[in-house]
Structure 1
Amino acid sequence: MPPPSLAVLVGQTDAAQLTRVSLTYVEQRIKLYLRFGEPARITRLDHWRRVAVFLPGAVFCRIRWQANDYGTISWQLMVMQACTPLDAVQRIPGVLPGALLLLHAEGELVVRAVLAQIDAIDALGISPAAVSPAYWRTLCNRLAARLPLSAYTTERHAAWLAGRASP
């Protein structure tokens, strides 16, 4: 089911339908940013902080990079799907009210491997936000099992789109 349009949600006074994602940038310390996803809007809070707002059903990827005086201390990548208030969501720091976590990667090597997969999807001319949520879950499971990551193909994407279009 496609996500409702922004015009439908603008008329609602209840903003609980929307997922808010905190983004931060402090030079040489922390970078919390979106790798992909199409926010309905982005609000700038101050020089360092922004909030991206997503409609229900939107898929997005947030990357967290953090360093101290001695170098990088953490890498984290999460692919998430914004939900409605009726969906079961996972509580994720910086994501309100929460989201469905499709993929979670920790550590530089693992994050770089997932970024390579995202770049390969981009190279196919497919928006990573339009990729099947099942692919992101499969990638997460393969990471957990320490198996080679499977590639997303145009055939797989066509099958996903055909399955979504059928009643």
Structure 2
Amino acid sequence: MTAQTVAATPAPLPSFAVRCGQTDAAPLTRVSLVHAPQRIQVYLRFGDPARITRLDPMRRIAVFLPGAIFCRVRWQANHYGTISWQIMVMQACSLWDAAQRIAGVLPGARLLLHANGKHAVRAVLPLIDAIEAQGIDPTAVSPVYWRMLNNRLAARLAMPVYTAERHTAWLARRGLQ
């Protein structure tokens, strides 16, 4: 090859994703966690983060892969007592999935269950405990069940228990897809 031929062949242009600062790696969902005793506590109730980064003694960042299901609990108090209770079950999204913007979750996640207030959170926590008591990992529970709980909670209807039969049916359905 001569010098003229090398100069005549243009270099390949980088792909659109690379030019926009995105690589071929899967996009990760970052969740901010805080622990300030007697003031605010934001922690994971369940979930399998790919990595946890400690920023300082009070703050951490949990990183989730696309499709991961996790639960974040937020509790806040002031000098007079508890002022905020919140529990959210979310699913980390891939680059092209529709996601909701949630404070402390970047770039966002699919919200499956959102319970706000003392009574709503106290209604959901025993259901999570019951799932774990059956030996079922809450991250493996059907996203449809979490959405159904959210709808039942909003309508103030009875909250169904997640059974082993329901879990087996979910695993069979997921195996067919």
Question: TM-score, normalised to structure 1's length?
Answer: 0.91
Unaligned runs of at least 5 residues, structure 2: 1-21
Unaligned runs of at least 5 residues, structure 1: 1-11
Is the CA contact (8 Å cut-off) linking 2:131 and 2:162 kept in structure 1?
yes
Is the CA contact (8 Å cut-off) linking 2:66 and 2:94 kept in structure 1?
yes
Instruction: State the Cα distance separating 1:13 from its structure 2 match.
Output: 4.5
Correspondence for 1:157: 167
- Provide Cα deviations, 1:99-151, integer angstroms capped at 9, x if missing partner: 00000000111101100000000000001111000000000000000001000
Q: Which amino acid aligns with 1:26?
A: A
Distance across 2 between alignment mates of 1:15 and 1:96: 16
Summarize the Cα distance change of 1:69–1:53 in structure 2 as closer, same or farther, 3 Å threshold. Answer: same
Correspondence for 1:75: 85
Residue 53 (structure 2) pairs with residue 43 (structure 1): yes
Summarize the Cα distance change of 1:33–1:14 in structure 2 as closer, same or farther, 3 Å threshold. Answer: farther
- Provide Cα deviations, 1:56-104, integer angstroms capped at 9, x if missing partner: 0000000000000000000000000000110010000000000000000
| Paired residue secondary structure (1:17) | coil
Q: Identify which of structures 1 and 2 has the higher relative contact order when contacts are C-alpha pairs closer than 8 Å and 6+ apart.
A: 1
Distance across 2 between alignment mates of 1:120 and 1:56: 26
Q: Percent identity?
A: 72
Residue 124 (structure 2) pairs with residue 94 (structure 1): no
Q: Which amino acid aligns with 2:174?
A: R
Structure 1 or 2, whichever has the larger Rg, is 2
Distance across 2 between alignment mates of 1:105 and 1:149: 13
Instruction: State the Cα distance separating 1:15 from its structure 2 match.
Output: 6.2
Distance across 2 between alignment mates of 1:16 and 1:89: 15
Q: Which amino acid aligns with 1:80?
A: M
Residue 141 (structure 2) pairs with residue 139 (structure 1): no
Correspondence for 1:114: 124
Q: After TM superposition, where is structure 1 displaced by more than 3 Å over at least 4 residues in a row?
A: 12-16
| Paired residue secondary structure (2:109) | strand
Question: TM-score, normalised to structure 2's length?
Answer: 0.86
Distance across 1 between alignment mates of 2:122 and 2:25: 35
Distance across 1 between alignment mates of 2:79 and 2:23: 45
Q: Which amino acid aligns with 1:53?
A: V
Residue 79 (structure 2) pairs with residue 31 (structure 1): no
Q: Which amino acid aligns with 1:54?
A: F
Residue 115 (structure 2) pairs with residue 105 (structure 1): yes
Correspondence for 2:27: 17
| Paired residue secondary structure (2:31) | strand
